[in-house]
């Protein structure tokens, strides 16, 4: 995973350039794969290392929320909390934000396996290997400034 | 396509679609948990049947250094600590490393072949916490609760 400042800034940049609606929902989509898979697994792992009896299968199970066929239904569950008339747009923006997240993540290279993009239909895994796992930290401040500046300019332009 | 999305998002189908979506996630999670333990057994799997793993390459991506020794070190991610044979020069306890190594069934250790020190991992984690907090702070300004549903403000 790239860091979440990079993910949020990339989302802000896309929305500022496309001038599309539902910006907050798109940004939630940009952090959702990590927020609902990495955060719980890291939390449970820390508790397990402190002696709390947490089954490893439970921890592994959360990883599917960082896969395309796991995050799409999860986005629907979140969208189902919204009124019917906006639900398709909320779902669409959550899925689009999550897709941007996963697209940025597969640019990285890790030791061993890449990302399982077609699971559970295939165990084929892939990542582009273009950037190291921590390279995004160098891009994050500049990306955040550019994205924030563009978004601010767009807001001001709207009056 | 548009029709299908409208159908899936309709209020009258919501309980059934929610059931199907939740069931799918439970199925995927259970299947992946089984796959993760069987497909890539790692050190723990090799310990259950050491001769079957002789010479097998084990990949450990972004693990934490727990202990440093003479010509060896111990790392951990989720489960039990893993002893690695390799010069720990440049490593400190708490560092994040990725290691590719060969399993040695006699000594029941991983013999390091390639190691990468993730020097900027803590900065990345700090940026991730900042990004997540930023979105969480935004939530009450962006959404509210009305008539039993979440609605966007503005």
Kindly state whether B24 is in contact with chain A, defined as any CB-CB distance less than 8 angstroms.
Answer: yes
Cβ of B5 and A49 within 8 Å? no
Kindly state whether B119 is in contact with chain A, defined as any CB-CB distance less than 8 angstroms.
Answer: yes
Yes or no: say if A28 and A94 are a contact pair by the CB < 8 Å rule: yes
Helix (H) or strand (E) holding A24: helix A23-33
Among chain B residues, CA nearest to A110: B61
Cβ of B32 and A136 within 8 Å? no
Among chain A residues, CA nearest to B100: A111
Q: Does the predicted interface ipTM exceed a cut of 0.90?
A: yes
Confidence of residue B75 (pLDDT cuts 50, 70, 90): very high
**In percent, how much of chain B has pLDDT > 90?**
78
Kindly state whether B108 is in contact with chain A, defined as any CB-CB distance less than 8 angstroms.
Answer: no
Yes or no: say if A34 and A4 are a contact pair by the CB < 8 Å rule: yes
Please tell me the predicted confidence (pLDDT) of residue B115: 96
Provide the whole-model pTM.
0.93
Q: In sequence order, what are the beta bridge partners of B68?
A: B73
Using CA atoms in the order A32, A37, A40, A44, what is the torsion angle rounded to 10 degrees? -170
- Core vs surface per residue B16-38: b (16+ CB within 10 A) or e: ebeeebeebbeebbeebbebbbe
Of A77, A24, A86, the C-alpha closest to B139 is A24
Q: In sequence order, what are the beta bridge partners of B101?
A: B58, B112
Site from A41, A87, A113, A121 to mutate, B interface, most B CB atoms within 10 angstroms = A87
Kindly state whether A110 is in contact with chain B, defined as any CB-CB distance less than 8 angstroms.
Answer: yes
Please tell me the predicted confidence (pLDDT) of residue B40: 64
Please tell me the predicted confidence (pLDDT) of residue A155: 84
Kindly state whether A158 is in contact with chain B, defined as any CB-CB distance less than 8 angstroms.
Answer: no
- Could you give the CA distance from residue B74 to residue B85 in angstroms, rounded to a whole number? 9
Q: Which CATH superfamily is domain B42-117 in?
A: Nucleic acid-binding proteins (2.40.50.140)
Tokens coding A113:
């396996």
**Tens of pLDDT, residues B120-147:** 999 999 999 999 999 999 999 999 999 9
CA distance A2 to chain B (A): 8
CA distance A138 to chain B (A): 9
Between helix A136-158 and helix B121-142 the angle, nearest 10°, is: 20
Please tell me the predicted confidence (pLDDT) of residue B7: 96
- Could you give the CA distance from residue B117 to residue B112 in angstroms, rounded to a whole number? 13
């Amino acid at each position: 995973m790239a860091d979440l400042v990079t993910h949020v800034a990339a989302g802000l940049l896309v929305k500022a350039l496309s001038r599309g609606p539902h910006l907050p929902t798109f940004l939630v989509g940009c952090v959702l794969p990590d927020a609902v898979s990495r955060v719980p697994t890291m939390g449970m792992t820390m508790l397990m290392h402190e002696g709390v009896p947490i089954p490893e299968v439970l921890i592994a199970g959360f990883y599917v929320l960082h896969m395309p066929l796991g995050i799409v239904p999860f986005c629907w569950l979140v969208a189902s909390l919204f009124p019917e008339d906006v639900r398709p747009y909320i779902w669409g923006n959550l899925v689009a934000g999550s897709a941007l997240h996963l697209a940025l993540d597969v640019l990285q290279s890790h030791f061993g396996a890449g990302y399982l993009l077609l699971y559970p239909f295939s165990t084929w895994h892939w990542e582009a290997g273009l950037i190291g796992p921590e390279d995004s930290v160098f891009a994050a401040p500049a990306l955040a400034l550019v994205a924030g500046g563009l978004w601010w300019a767009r807001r001001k332009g709207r009056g | 396509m548009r029709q299908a999305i409208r159908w899936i998002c309709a209020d009258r189908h919501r309980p059934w679609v929610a059931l199907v979506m939740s069931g799918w996630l439970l199925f995927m999670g259970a299947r992946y948990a089984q796959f993760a333990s069987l497909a890539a057994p790692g050190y723990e799997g090799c310990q259950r049947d050491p001769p079957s793993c002789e010479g097998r390459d084990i990949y450990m991506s972004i693990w934490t250094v727990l202990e440093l020794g003479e010509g060896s070190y111990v790392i951990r991610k989720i489960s039990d600590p893993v002893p690695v044979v390799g010069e720990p020069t440049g490593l400190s306890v708490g560092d994040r490393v990725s290691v590719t190594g060969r399993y040695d069934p006699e000594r029941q250790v991983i013999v390091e072949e390639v190691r990468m020190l993730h020097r900027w991992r803590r900065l990345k984690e700090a940026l991730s916490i900042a990004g997540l907090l930023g979105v969480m702070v935004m939530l009450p300004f962006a959404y509210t609760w009305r008539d039993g549903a979440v609605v966007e403000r503005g």
